[in-house]
Amino acid sequence: MSREAAAMLEQAVDLSRQLLAAADRGDSQAVAFLDAQRLQLLKSVRNGASAPHAHERVLLQEIALLNDKSIGSLEHHRRIKGRQLDVAIAGRRAVHAYAHARQLR
């Protein structure tokens, strides 16, 4: 790969770090924006289609690792939101049940 491709991969690593930070905050809009930017960089690198050197392979592995961590963080936030919705639904049902019982007195 060329120096230009290596520089784009380094930018993609930086974007991956920012993406992980946004995923840790639960900021899905920032994650989507950063992911789109990173995708464009990776497509540009791929269009330069030559075999990656050792340094570029290390950068690609770091991007993959950061991506896996980001996905894990987003899944964690999704589970938290799911639990919050379950609690809200249970609360709504309880309010409805007690409101009905109160009317019978």
Q: What is the pLDDT of residues 43-58, one digit of tens each?
A: 988 887 677 788 888 9
Mean pLDDT calculated for residue range 91-102? 83
Mean pLDDT of the chain: 89
Compute the distance between CA of residue 9 and CA of residue 64 in angstroms, rounded to an integer.
12
> Model pTM?
0.78
- Mark out the alpha helices in the chain (DSSP H runs): 3-25, 28-47, 54-104
Confidence of residue 104 (pLDDT cuts 50, 70, 90): low
Buried b (16+ CB within 10 A) or exposed e, 3-24: eebbebbebbbebbbbbbebbe
- The pLDDT, as a whole number, for residue 68 is 96
The residues, any chain, with a CB within 8 Å of residue 20's CB and separated by 6 or more, are 66, 69, 70, 73
Confidence of residue 30 (pLDDT cuts 50, 70, 90): very high
Compute the distance between CA of residue 47 and CA of residue 9 in angstroms, rounded to an integer.
13
